[in-house]
Amino acid sequence: MSQIIDGKLVASHIRKELKNEAESLLKLTGKKPGLVAILVGDNSASKIYVNSKSKACNEVGFHSVIKIMENDTTEEDLLKVIKEFNADDDIDGILVQLPLPEQIDEDKIIEAISPEKDVDGFHPISFGNLVIGKETFYPCTPFGIMELLKYYKIDTKGKHVVVVGRSNIVGKPIANMLVQKKDGANAIVTICHTAAPDIAFYTKQADILIAAVGKANLITKDMVKDGVVVIDVGINRIEDSNSAKGYKVVGDVDFENVKEKASFITPVPGGVGPMTIAMLLTNTLKSFKQKMNIK
């Protein structure tokens, strides 16, 4: 029997703490941490994400701005908007929701965000600091995974972590965070990806398996060993005629069967997902405190 890792619960604890801290800081400084979420175009999933981020901001007492831009926005226009928010003292965090329309170079946009306001942790300076083990803004999903492992007291030292997926948002940063010579990390890390002739060869060796691919039910029971800790980052829509919406959301892991072998496992939804927003708020508060010179 496995223990279910309840990301919703952990995220709600974090949000409560942030709310309390924001209240104290408001009394102390008369100011609120501020986050702007920039949405370019009409990607429906992105709209939902941006609205959830803004709602979460308001709930913990932060200042929240949503900047909506047309689908045909030029790179130059977006760069101009970022420059304005870089200079805006009411804004501590700038988030440009990805993906962007194809006429815009994502790397250029990420690099235009001031590293002091890079609450997504996507800027090459943030990422470089992460790799060399320096204090920085950690990307929110990997940061959330680290917090879940800590909350459930899952030991990572000397454990074999197998990460499936090599994205800049999850796979690469989580692998680099877990390999650091630090408490809560110090793991032996393998990154496994589409070029692997046999993914199961690697996943079967995992003490901790992190699946971040975006392929529904890719990880099956026969691909893991007994007692494995499973962290499922996938968010995939699959057809479901029993649901009014006509679909349901599942992860990269065949949850029902894999949970019989796992010691711990994250569900989808309700596992890693809620942590991403909680860590975005955490980063925004950190940025605010850095600006105000508060420890």
User: Contacts with ligand GUN in 167-186 (CB under 6 A)?
Assistant: 169
Hey, which residues does 208 pair with through a beta bridge?
Answer: 161, 229
Question: Considering the rule CB under 6 A, would residue 98 count as an interface residue with ligand GUN?
Answer: yes
Please provide residue 187's backbone torsions phi and psi, each rounded to the nearest 5 degrees. -95, 165
Output 21 or 120, the one with its CB closest to ligand GUN: 120
Contacts of 4 (CB under 8 A, 6+ apart): 259, 264, 265, 266, 267
Which residues within the stretch 118-137 sit at the binding site for ligand GUN (CB under 6 A)? Answer: 120
Count residues near ligand GUN (CB under 6 A). 8
232 is catalytic: no
Which single residue is written with the structure tokens 């009409």?
A: 42
Residue 88: DSSP 8-state: -
The verdict on 21 binding ligand GUN (CB under 6 A) reads no
| CB 254, CB 191: distance < 8 Å | no
What is the C-alpha to C-alpha distance for residues 101 and 115, in angstroms, rounded to an integer?
A: 23
The question of whether 120 is a catalytic residue gets the answer: yes
Burial class (CB in 10 A: 0-12, 13-18, 19+), 140: buried
- In the complex, what is the shortest distance from the CB of residue 58 to ligand GUN, in angstroms, rounded to a whole number? 18
Active-site residue, selected from the candidate residues 32, 67, 92, 97 = 97
Site for ligand GUN in 234-253 (CB under 6 A): none
Q: How far is the CB of 42 from ligand GUN (least distance, A)?
A: 15
Does residue 121 contact residue 139 with C-beta atoms inside 8 Å? yes
Among candidate residues 92, 118, 120, 232, the one labeled active-site is: 120
Task: Give the catalytic positions in this structure.
Answer: 53, 97, 120
**Which residues lie near ligand GUN (CB under 6 A)?**
95-98, 120, 140, 169, 276
